[in-house]
Amino acid sequence: MKKSINNFIKNNKLFISFVIICVLISFLLRSLTIGFYIDLKAIFSDILVSLFIGLFAYFIKPNKRYTYFLIWITFFSILSIVDYVYYEFYHSFISVSLIATTSMVGKVNDSLFAKLHIHQFIFLLFPIVFIFIKKILTKKSYFDNIELSDTKEVFKKMALIILTIFMVLIFSLTQNDKVKFSNFRNKEYVVKNYGLYVYTFYDLFKNETSYEKAAMKFKDYYSCKKDTSDNEYTNIFKGKNVLFIHAESIQNFLIDLKINNKEVTPNINKLAHEGMYFSKFYPQISVGTSSDTEFTLTTGLMPSTNGTVFVNYDENTYMAMPNYFNNLGYYTFSMHANDRTYWNREDMYKRLGYKTFYAKDSFIVPEDETSENYIGLGLSDKSFFKQIIPILKNIKANNSPYFGTIITLSNHSPYKENEKFGDFDLTMSYKYKDEEGNTLIGRSKYLEDTEMGYYIKSAHYADEAIGELFENLKKEKLLDNTIIVFYGDHEARLPKKEFELLYNYDPVNNTLKDEEDESYYSMDNYNYDLLKNTPLIIWSNDEKYNKEITKVMGMYDVLPTIANMFGFDEKFSLGRDIFSDEEGIVVFPNGNVLTDKVYYSDLYDEYITFTDEPISSDYINNLREYANNILEVSNDIVEHDLIKTESDKLGECLNE
C-alpha cells in the first residue's frame, strides 16, 4: 500500500495540487465572508467535488491535463471574487436566478465600485500559484517521466474514494440539515456547511416544488388562517387619504441620535414623537432591496428565494395594498424620480394595482450632475419634493380619497457626496484632564472621511428634505384628513467597523473601547443584525398619538395593520395586525426569526434571549417550523402564481 501511495503521488502531483488549491479557494471564501470556521463537512464536500472534477482529467493526455485544471481553478477563483463582492452587499451568495437582475447593476454602479477593494482579488493568486507549480514540475521533467497509469484502474479507485466520501456526508446529515439544504433559502448555511462548490452546482440544478404539493400547502394554510378580531384601532382611519413615504436607507439608530448635542434627524424625530412610532420594525428584504420592501410591505408576502419578484415574477397575480384601496374607491399612485424601468416598476406596479406611476419623466431632472438638484442616482430629494406638490394638489382636487407612495432617492449608497449634504458638523467635543488634573475640552473629528460619517451627513440632508416636504404639505393643506406612513426601506449596509466607531470610540485615547469598558457596546453578529431595523411611523395632522410601540414587527405586518385601521379585509398576507393579541414574530428570508423573547439564527442554529424567563426547546422548534411554513407558502405563491389559480378553491380548515 505504501508503494502504491508513493507511486500515485509521484505520477499525480499536478492532480493533487489541483485538489488542494480548490479546497483552499473555498476555505478562503468562507473565512472572508461567513468567518473562520474549520467545518469538516465543508472541507470534505470541497474535496469530493474537486476529486470528481479532477477525475475526468484521466481521459486527457498527461501534458494536456494542466490546461484542464487551470481552467477550473481560474473559474473557481473568479467565482469566488464575484461571491465575495456580492456578499459585501447582501450577506449572501450569488445565484443563477439573479441573472435577470444584472440589468440593475448599471444604475447603481457607484455603489458597486464603493464596495470593490483590492483584497477581494486575492483569489487571482491561486491560478498564478498553479502556473508556478507547473513550471517547477516542467523543470523537474515531471511531464516527461510521468508513467501512463491504467486509466480504468485509476478511475475505479478514485470513483470508490468519491463514493465513500459522498456516503459519509449523506449519513452525517441530520433532519434539520436536510430541511435547510433542500429549501436552499439560507445560502450562507449551505456554503458554511457544504462549501462553495456544492452550493454552486446545487444552485444550477435544484428543482422547484411541484405545483400539486405547493397548491395543497397553499389551500391548507389559507383555509385555516384566522381572521383578526377588532381592536381599538379598527376603522380609525376609514375614508382618510394616505401617503406612504418610502425613505431610502434610513435606519432606526438615527432616531434621536445626536452628534455634539445636535440631532442628526430632527424632522424624523418630531414625527416619531408625535405619531405612532414602531421602534422594533424590521425590513425583510433579500437581494431585491427596495423592490423587496415594496413587495413585502404592500402584499404581506416574503421576497422570492429565487431572484426578485419585481423582475422574475412580474406577470403573476397579487393582492396588494393599492388593489385593496382601489376597491374602496381610492385613486392610487406612486412617485419616484428614477427611471420607470428600474426594478421593473412600470410593469410590476400594474400588478400591485397602482393606477398612475409618476416616474423620472414626470419631473425636471438636471442633466448636469454637478447641479445642486442632482445627488447620487439623480434628482435630489429637495427638488423632487418641491415638484410633487403641484401634482398632489391636482390629485386632491380631482380625486378623493387617494392612496399614494412617495419614494425618496438621495440617501442611496454610496454616501460620499457630502459637499451637497450641508454643513453638519461631525466633530465630537469631550472633556479630559491634563497631567496636572485640569479639566480641558477636546475636539475629535473621528467620523470625518468614514462611511458612517458620510452616511450621517447624507441622512441629515434627507431629513432636511423631509422637513421641507412637510412644511409645503402643511402650507397647501395637503395634510388635512391625510395619514402619513413613514418608513425606512432597508438598512444602509454599513459594515460592523463603522458601528464600532460610532458607539465605542474613545476620544481621549483615540482608540476603540475594549469589552472591559462598562460603556462598551458589543457588535457581535446578533447586535449587528438587530441594529438593521428601520423606523416606521404612522402620523396624522388631525390627531397626535404620541405612542411608541415596542412589539417586534416585520414589513409583512404592515398590510394587515393598515387593513384594520382603514376598514378593509385582506386575504393573503403572512403577517398579522400588530395591534392584535398575537405574539410579534418576524421571519427573515434567510430563516432567522425574531420575537419579543428571542432572536434565532438559522445559520448557527442558536439564539439569544431578551427575557429572564426560560426558553424551552419546544418554543424554538415551533419558531423554526413556523418560519419554514411561512417561507415555503410565500415562495410557492410567487413561483406558481397560486393566488391566480388557487384562491377560489379555499375551503374549510381540515387541521383543527
Distance separating alpha carbons of residues 333 and 406, to the nearest angstrom: 9
Nearest CA-CA partner of 407 in 249, 641, 548:
249
Parse the chain into domains and list their residue ranges.
Answer: 2-205, 228-497+532-581
| Residue with more model confidence, 9 or 620 | 620
Q: Which cell numbers hold the place of 92?
A: 449572501
> Pick from 41, 50, 105, 106: which is nearest to 75 by CA?
50
Does residue 332 sit in helix, strand or coil? strand
pLDDT, one tens digit per residue, over 587-641 is: 999 999 999 999 999 988 999 999 999 999 999 999 999 999 999 999 999 999 9
Give me the chain's average pLDDT, please: 89
Per-residue pLDDT at 413: 86
Q: What pLDDT is attached to residue 648?
A: 87
pLDDT score recorded for residue 7:
67
Please report which helix (H) or strand (E) contains residue 555, including its range.
Answer: none
Residue 420 DSSP code: G
Helix H or strand E encompassing 210: none
Is pLDDT of 113 > 70? no
Give the three-class secondary structure for 356.
strand
Residue 552 main-chain phi, psi, to 5 deg: -65, 145
Least confident of 407-411, 522-526, 531-535, 595-599: 522-526
Out of 47-61, 524-538, 615-629, least confident range: 47-61
In 3D space, the residue among 574, 621, 615, 618 whose CA is nearest the CA of residue 598 turns out to be: 615
List the one residue out of 199, 218, 169 whose CA is nearest residue 33: 199
DSSP 442: E
Residue 462 pLDDT greater than 70, yes or no: yes
Q: Which three cell numbers stand for residue 276?
A: 405612532
Average pLDDT rounded to a whole number, residues 93-99:
76
Residue 110 has pLDDT above 70, yes or no: no
Query: Cβ contacts of residue 527 below 8 Å, gap of 6+?
Result: 521
- Torsion of the alpha carbons at 585, 413, 257 and 533, rounded to the nearest 10: 0
Q: What is the pLDDT of residue 111?
A: 55
Least confidently predicted of 80-84, 87-91, 460-464, 515-519: 87-91
Cell numbers for 515: 469589552
Name the CATH architecture for the domain at 228-497+532-581.
Answer: 3-Layer(aba) Sandwich (3.40)
Average of pLDDT values for 390-404? 95
- In this prediction, residue 150 carries a pLDDT of 60
Cell match 473559474: residue?
Answer: 75
Distance (Å, whole) CA 319 – CA 258: 41
pLDDT tens digits for range 343-392: 999 999 999 999 999 999 999 999 887 788 888 888 999 999 999 999 99
What phi and psi, each to the nearest 5 degrees, are found at residue 440? -120, 160
Specify the range with the lowest mean pLDDT, choosing from 19-23, 50-54, 94-98, 237-241. 94-98
Examine the pLDDT at 151 and tell me if it is beyond 80.
Answer: no
Q: Is the pLDDT of residue 148 over 70?
A: no
Return the top range by mean pLDDT from 18-27, 36-45, 159-168, 372-381. Answer: 18-27
Q: What integer pLDDT is reported at residue 508 of this predicted model?
A: 87
538 has which bridge partners? 276, 485
Structural contact between residues 311 and 101, judged by C-beta atoms closer than 8 angstroms = yes
Q: What's the rounded Cα separation, in Å, for the pair 467 and 49?
A: 57
Q: What average pLDDT does the segment 36-64 reach? A: 87
289-299 and 558-566 helices, crossing angle to 10°: 40
Amino acid at 453: G
Q: Is the pLDDT of residue 314 over 80?
A: yes
List the beta strands (DSSP E) in 392-427: 402-407
Question: pLDDT tens for residues 219-278?
Answer: 999 988 887 789 999 999 999 999 999 999 999 999 999 998 899 999 999 999 999 999
- Residue 463 contacts residue 268 (beta carbons within 8 Å): yes
pLDDT above 80 (res 104): no
Q: Which residue has the higher pLDDT, 545 or 587?
A: 587
Mean pLDDT of 124-130: 95
Q: How far apart are the first and last CA of the chain?
A: 64
Q: Are 338 and 359 in contact (CB under 8 A)?
A: yes
For residue 8 the three cell numbers come to: 500515485
Least confident stretch, 206-210, 484-488, 631-635: 206-210
Q: Which of 524, 446, 531, 525 shows the shortest CA–CA distance to 492?
A: 531
In sequence order, the β-bridge partners of residue 243 are 404, 484
Query: Would you state the pLDDT for residue 654?
Result: 62
Rg for the chain (alpha carbons), in Å?
A: 28
pLDDT of residue 584: 92
Position 157 scores a pLDDT of 79
**Residue 100: what pLDDT?**
59
Local structure of 507: helix, strand or coil: coil
